[in-house]
Amino acid sequence: MLIRRLLPSAVFLLTACSQSSPPPAEPSPPPESPTQQPADRSVVTPFQKEVERSKTVLSCKSTKITPGSSGWGALFGCIGGDAETVKFFINEEPETGRVSTTKFLWNDWFKDRGYGLHADAKDADKMIHDLVKLYPSDHDKALLKAFKGKKNFTVEGNGYRFEYTFDRGPAIDERMIVITPLGSTP
């Protein structure tokens, strides 16, 4: 038998929209065993900690967390620059609360198609330096240099793999750094 329970906020909303009183809420039965206890929603996951840590350093025009679903973990997105070409993402491993990867991307316009040449270059430069603050390693200078170049670059340090990729499109150079915790599978 399917039993539906209303959340207190739903009861409040129904009360506000209705002339009659809501039915009394049924108390929930206690869990039968420790393994059946509901998840504690107040637990802060490593993913949530990383999002909060990143927000204190990054300059984002807008941010959003997309909840996980259908085998995908949650996704934190930070968009920067007037043309919104600077992007920072944190991917959560599904159902674990851990960080799978962190990605920094700049869509560098090398042809003017209405966004200007190298739109948001200053914002991209600031965010790459913010990224180095968030994930310092012995290879910071090499990573900063690679980001301005056109050759792919991979290095490991301080518990992370840093992968820079450069892809040239018809009007955009995609410059992306993927940071993966070592021992994690993206």
- At 185, the pLDDT band (50, 70, 90 cuts) reads low
- The reported pTM is 0.74
Under 8 Å between Cβ of 26 and 69 = no
Under 8 Å between Cβ of 134 and 177 = no
pLDDT in tens, 147-162: 999 999 999 999 999 9
Under 8 Å between Cβ of 58 and 80 = yes
Question: Measured between alpha carbons, how far is 90 from 78 in angstroms, rounded to an integer?
Answer: 9
- At 102, the pLDDT band (50, 70, 90 cuts) reads very high
pLDDT (0 to 100) of residue 99: 96
pLDDT (0 to 100) of residue 16: 34
Domain ranges of the chain: 46-181
Across 20-43, average pLDDT: 44
Across 33-47, average pLDDT: 57
Across 179-186, average pLDDT: 76
What is the DSSP-derived secondary structure letter of residue 152? Answer: -
pLDDT in tens, 119-149: 999 999 999 999 999 999 999 999 999 999 9
- Alpha-carbon torsion (159, 177, 99, 45), positive or negative: positive
- At 183, the pLDDT band (50, 70, 90 cuts) reads confident
The amino acid that residue 146 corresponds to is A
Sorted by sequence, the CB contacts under 8 Å of residue 147 that are 6+ apart come out as 128, 164, 175, 177
SS3 99: strand
Say what percent of the chain tops pLDDT 90: 70
